[in-house]
Chains A and B, each alone.
Chain A
Amino acid sequence: MSIRVDGVSKSFGAFKALDNVSLDVPQGTLLALLGPSGSGKTTLLRIIAGLEWPDSGRIEEDGTDITDRHARQREVGFVFQHYALFRHMSVFENVAFGMRVRKAPHAEVKARVDELLHLVRLDNLGARKPAQLSGGQRQRVALARALAIRPRILLLDEPFGALDAKVRVELRQWLRRLHDEIGMTTVFVTHDQEEAFELADDVVVMNEGHVEQRGKPEEVFDKPATPFVMDFLGNVNVYHGRVENGRAFWHGVPIDYPDYPHAQARAARVYLRPHELDIARAPSGGPSEANQGTSLAATVLRQTRTGPITRITCQPQEGGSELHVDLPSAAARQLGLQPGEAVSITPRHVRVFLPDPEYVI
């Protein structure tokens, strides 16, 4: 089933949680709502589920307006952030709940619950209480419970947030496989970009109640549409530079920027990702001169190795804030830079954002 969110706004008192948000989720998509806390992603998810009502706007399922339809009738499977398992019920009864309230025959309930417990690999744990399960197991019970009512949409609120790193990765891959098997339209909320990029077909980045960007994971990562997305995806060097005549300048290093052909110079922010910078030992012969052509002269401050990646922190010789360069650890070892050495840094790729006119004072 496809979902369409059309111009939805929602306020809690003075706080505007959602501001005219529109979103299409085609049938069978696995979509991630990515954003910091307070960006409205959970509110949007709850509105789709019918657990929250929008102040204005419409929700459609397969073209039918369901804005006023009660959560009970929406046939939506919802997995809560902290699972919200029924504490006093066994795992079996938790999964059976949706069918019990629909007065399904006992034999049917038993067959369906057994099938689902098998699907989430909890075959022999039906008699346990939620408190006797591990976090990952509880998460799978919550999922089985949501799937038991044969929902047409699956919504998950920070599904892996409360799990430790190893279980999180396992469950993530498992959920992706499950989605590929049953092909249900699925929307999940996360603040973890790695989770969103690894799991989702489509990523929607949200901020302060509106959609900043929507696209395939690689699109969002490679072509961030706004400074917010660039910042949120993190791990980026930000500099104040200027643009003029189709070029942006970063510490005097010119970079092609055809979007701004005007002669009048304008301040701009230059974003460089650490893994998109080349670093080389400066040509020998004393301290390097001014920036040569397309590279920046800098001094190595320190190296930090985190697994397969080594981060080299440099100080531009002109001054200004520190700059990070990421290299594969093998390449870094081969290069063998020492603190204090002069290097030249060449950007392979940069992004330039002009400040919004409204921010110009």
Chain B
Amino acid sequence: MTSKPRHAATATSPLGLLLITGAVATVGLLIVAPLASVFVDAFSNGPQAWWEALAHDPDTRHAIWLSLTVAPIAVLINTIFGVAAAWLVARFRFPGRSLLVSLFDVPFSVSPVVAGLALVLIFGRQGLLGPTLAWLAVKVIFAWPGLVLATTFVTLPLVVRELIPVMEAIGPEEEMAAVSLGANGWQVFWRVTLPNIRWALLHGVVLANARAMGEFGAVYVVSGHIAGATDTMPLRVEKLFQEYRTPASMAVASVLAALALLTLVAKVFIERQLETESKELEAARAPGADTDPTTGGLGP
């Protein structure tokens, strides 16, 4: 992008050095140091203690298991909803379309605690659907379905937001071509649409999963934090911390932090793929080089 001399000049100028120092200090102090301290604290009594804190406490074990169940269910719901909604928005024009797109963003702007309370107002015993749920003997609030609902709510925009711009950039032509070649709806989706959006979809899924694993506020309200029943990993971290069991708390926190780092690696890898794909899309739209030596002209 910029030429070499410019780089050199920026790096050595006093202002450049000041900015670099400032950025490194901020990132170090706010991101690297706290994250590192989580791992340091978690392993302060050795790996043995770390393992015991995770595996030998039944409530912690249950919290890990619950998180590993609730998050995938929420992500799955999000994936199905996200693909369907993105397809609707990217392929069709209808009244209320832009309102719908704005509504997708509500979970980003609403405080998770408010979202949790709203769910209690709807699904709680005194809530709007309370009598119906009681009659059906289904427990939502203070049970795992509530956790799934709250997690789905806060992660809702992540997949659909990722897909809409990609589907709009790709355009409907390939899908129309597939239809004209005789493909039915499912065949178009599995053979054409999905392969074209796979990296964007995976990106959305990874982000949604990270958010789902780490969600605290909304889940806190609907779970009722019953140890061994409705505590997820983040709730367990908080509870152990409140009970002055810091090493155990830090052990669970380190699992969450490790998941976050794993997400980061996956995210970087997927973003590279996405970049390659968008370059390919550009290349496919360009006229292309018409001087291919393997065929040359069409011959007589």
Contact = CB atoms under 8 A, between A and B. Distances in A.
Interface of A: 49-51, 71-74, 76-78, 80, 82, 84-89, 97-98, 100-102, 121-122, 124-125, 129-131, 133-138, 145-146, 148-149, 162-164, 166-167, 170-171, 174
Contacts of B12: none
A133 B287 CA distance: 10
B177 A86 contact: yes
Given A72-B182, A125-B294, A137-B292, A131 B174 contact: no
B288 interface: yes
B180 A78 contact: yes
Interface of B: 173-174, 176-184, 187, 191-192, 195-196, 280-281, 283-285, 287-292, 294-295, 297-299
B173 A84 contact: yes
B182 A98 contact: yes
A134 B291 contact: yes
Given A71-B179, A84-B174, A133 B292 contact: yes
A165 to B, nearest CB: 10
Contacts of A77: 180
Given A87-B280, A131-B284, A97 B178 contact: yes
B181 A134 contact: no
Contact of A164 (B173, B192, B287): B287
A141 to B, nearest CB: 11
B194 to A, nearest CB: 10
A72 B183 contact: yes
A82 B292 contact: no
Contacts of B288: 133-138
A130 B280 CA distance: 9
A271 B9 CA distance: 67
A136 B287 CA distance: 8
8 contacts: A82-B173, A86-B174, A87-B196, A101-B183, A102-B182, A125-B294, A137-B292, A164-B287
A134 B287 CA distance: 7
A49 B180 contact: yes
Contacts of B291: 134
A72 B181 CA distance: 7
Given A98-B182, A135-B288, 16 more contacts: A51-B176, A71-B179, A72-B179, A74-B180, A76-B180, A77-B180, A82-B285, A85-B177, A86-B178, A121-B295, A129-B280, A131-B283, A135-B289, A138-B288, A162-B287, A164-B287
A133 B290 CA distance: 8
Contact of B176 (A84, A129, A134, A163): A84
B180 A135 contact: no
A87 to B, nearest CB: 6
